[in-house]
Amino acid sequence: MTISTPGVTLGVVGGGQLGRMLAEAAAPLGVDLVVTDPTEDPPAGPVASDALVGDFDEFSTIRAVAERADYLTFEIELTDPDALEQVAEETGVPVHPKPDTLRLIQDKLVQKRRLGDAGVPVPAFRQVDDEDDLLAAGEELGYPLMLKAREGGYDGRGNYPVESPDDVTDALDAIQGPAMAEEMIDFERELAVMGCLGADERDTFPVTETIHREEILRETVSPPRADEDVRERARSIALDVLDAMEGRGVYGIELFETSDGEILLNEIAPRPHNSGHWTIEGCHTSQFEQHVRAVTGRPLGTTERRGPTVSANVLGDVPDRQRATLSGEDAVFETPRAHLHWYGKREVYRLRKMGHVTLVGDGETMDELLADVRALRERLTFQSRSQ
């Protein structure tokens, strides 16, 4: 007896950990992945059908991937929307999310203006091109405020807190380019919603609490330690955000719950997001399977949560970039309902995301579950191969 698969190939610009997890989710659906990445041996390489070498915005490489694919998507915003659009026109391969959505997302100022005009609540912000603009923003928004690079920032990179007028010069030197000043939000907690757009349907994964330190995501807690009405308002705002997006796929929507009980949009990622990694074990459909379903035109899967779930990022803890090995993973393997995800990166350095640990609850409080996953994460350390 012959068993056939759907025979669909998905091209992905980017072969990092998101590409790796997309490939892991696509395989059971009978979908092959071909990725492109600037590195010779990217994290997605061992699990994708093939990995082409080329810059994220290199037209010839993007076209080469598209020529081998039925659909094209991206797992990093550094790709060129003009190249994606031209490749789609020349090859007929559909790109999701749409290049126009990527253009919107890539510039934080454009993103905030568009969403604010659409009625989505956003923090107060102002365009900054020089010192006079930033000083004026300080007078208008008050200090401290956050200066953000309009393009290219992630994981805290491209963000600079401005405590007073004395910090203006240093802040602009750190950003080194077009910027946006945003009021510093006094928030109760940060929240995230993974939104989903299918061919003719939309949905969201359950609202999740995100915990950051040094502006890098450390843990997620789902359900969040927030009132039900807060969760409902967060989901409602996420659906409003989806209405402003074009193209199928999963969208990471980051939000603030302010100390006054408001929900404000922080930022959007037009792709699977770190704040949704918990869905791999925590939901019946992971964010990665959902993205593959969406961009290939399949019906969306259920976003129902299996149970209370927390995750903790495993970050590099060595001072200098080096080849390293992980130790302490047996503690995770020996713990019921705990799951280790290793991203396959060959080098480690301080605060680099190397993997994550997920823990699914069984009657614990969310505070207890969070303490347990943190304890597991603390058992994981990196050691130089030369030692």
Numbered residues of the known binding site = 108, 148, 182-185, 190, 212, 266-267
Which pair of structure tokens corresponds to residue 53? Answer: 């070498």
What's the first-to-final CA gap in the chain, in angstroms? 53
Give how far the C-alpha of residue 33 lies from the chain's centroid of Cα atoms, to the nearest Å. 19
Q: What is the DSSP string of 215-279?
A: TEEEEEEES-SS-HHHHHHHHHHHHHHHHT--SSEEEEEEEEEETTS-EEEEEEESS--GGGTTH
Q: With the C-alpha atoms ordered 280, 286, 292, 295, is the resulting torsion angle positive or negative?
A: negative
Give how far Cα 69 sits from Cα of 64, 231, 366, Å: 9, 38, 42
Length of the chain equals 387
Give how far the C-alpha of residue 259 lies from the chain's centroid of Cα atoms, to the nearest Å. 25
Q: Which residues are annotated as a binding site for ATP?
A: 108, 148, 182-185, 190, 212, 266-267
User: Distance between CA 332 and CA 335 in Å, rounded?
Assistant: 5
Residue of 299, 296, 272, 300 lying closest to 93 (CA atoms): 296
Q: Are 267 and 225 in contact (CB under 8 A)?
A: no
Residue 119 pairs in a beta bridge with none
Q: Are 126 and 137 in contact (CB under 8 A)?
A: yes
